[in-house]
Amino acid sequence: VGATLFGLPSKGWAQEAQDHSAAQLAKHVIETSPEGEVRAALEAFDNYSYHHELGMHLGTEKGLLIEAAVQQGLPANGPAFVLETGCHAGDGTLRAIAAMSGRQGSKLVSTEANPGWLKAAERIVGHAAKNSGVTFLPRKLAEDADFGEFLDTLIKDNHFSRLDTVILDQDQSRFLDQLKAILKRGLLKPGATLYVDNVKTKAGRLRKYLDFVSAGAGNGFETKVVEIAEPYPDAVAISTFVGSHTEPRVREEV
């Protein structure tokens, strides 16, 4: 039997505490914001995370940039299709839905490796995004899962045949391989956008990804990096797939 801390097994204690905090956060959002009000849910989410020092909130700057990226990637008309990896407790998810709201038939697939966080996101989004016109499809996805296989399943199940925006926020060391898997399946059309967080705080892990999506790399992307001041100094990268006369150079098999 392992050692205990405050009556809880020391092994996994921190994770249990985080899962409990996420559950309490979801409870607060549901109890203090009206059903179907995304903006009210975001305000309740941010306030609770900030005042309880949970570190679960992205902050207004990053949130608005997610909205801008999704808005930019929307097709001229009809439904939108968005993939988000690493949704945590769902505030970034709500930002995406705010930008997609009213596009009937739209779908948002959000993944998370932590089942406690995914459950919290499912509860929060289910409460806040009711009648938004967006179908929310939460999926548990381990960080080391076969991402290509995951995409193939989503395509087979008719959840999407294209992606208008991809939000990557899980394991930064896997972003490039994940993007290559998306490109290999032809899921990005000209005008589609990519949003990537932690460009400063995880710069080493993101170097190869950022090199690949730079305009000079010739892989069909234009990328801008935006500095962020809160909730801590950081930067995000928003890339636009512009396509090219030739296929993007995907050199490695996925």
CATH code of the domain covering residue 159:
3.40.50.150
**Over pLDDT 70: what percentage of the chain?**
90
Average pLDDT estimate for 175-181 = 98
Q: What is the pLDDT of residues 8-58, one digit of tens each?
A: 444 466 667 777 899 999 999 999 999 999 999 999 999 999 998 887 889
pLDDT at 163 over 50: yes
103-162: pLDDT as tens digits: 999 999 999 999 999 999 999 999 999 989 999 999 999 999 999 999 999 999 988 999
Rg of the chain, C-alpha, whole Å = 18
Residue 78 has pLDDT above 90, yes or no: yes
Q: What is the mean pLDDT of residues 167-183?
A: 96
Alpha-carbon 17 to chain mean position: 23
The count of domains in the chain is 1
In this predicted structure, what is the pLDDT of residue 55?
78
> Average pLDDT of 90-115?
96
**What pLDDT sits at residue 108?**
97
Specify if 9 maps to a domain. no
Nearest to 197 by CA among 122, 88, 121: 88
pLDDT of residue 13: 61
Residue 205 lies in a domain: yes
**216: Cα within 13 Å, side-chain hemisphere:** 2
- H/E element holding 239? strand 234-241
Model confidence at 1: pLDDT above 60: no
Where in the sequence is the domain holding 222, given as residue range(s)? 16-241
pTM of the model as a whole: 0.89
* Integer Cα distance of 60 and 236 in angstroms: 13
- Is 152 domain-assigned? yes
Q: For residue 252, is pLDDT > 50?
A: no
Tell me: pLDDT of 6 over 90: no
Q: What are phi and psi of 29, to 5 degrees?
A: -60, -45
Q: pLDDT at position 56, please?
A: 80
Q: Does 248 reside within a domain?
A: no
CA-CA distance, 60 to 196, in Å (whole number)? 16
| CB contact at 8 A, 178 and 168 | yes
**Is it the case that residue 226 has pLDDT exceeding 80?**
yes
Structure tokens at 247: 């296929």
Q: Pinpoint the alpha helices (H) of the chain.
A: 13-32, 38-51, 60-73, 91-100, 115-128, 147-156, 175-184, 203-213
Q: Over 70: is that where the pLDDT of 3 sits?
A: no
The pLDDT value given to residue 4: 43
Are the C-beta atoms of 59 and 88 separated by less than 8 Å?
A: no
- Asked, for residue 1, whether it belongs to a domain, the answer is no
Whether residue 7 is contained in a domain is answered as no
Average pLDDT over residues 58-63: 94
Indicate whether 121 belongs to any domain: yes
Flag whether 177 is in a domain: yes
Q: Please give the average per-residue pLDDT across 223-234, as a whole number.
A: 95
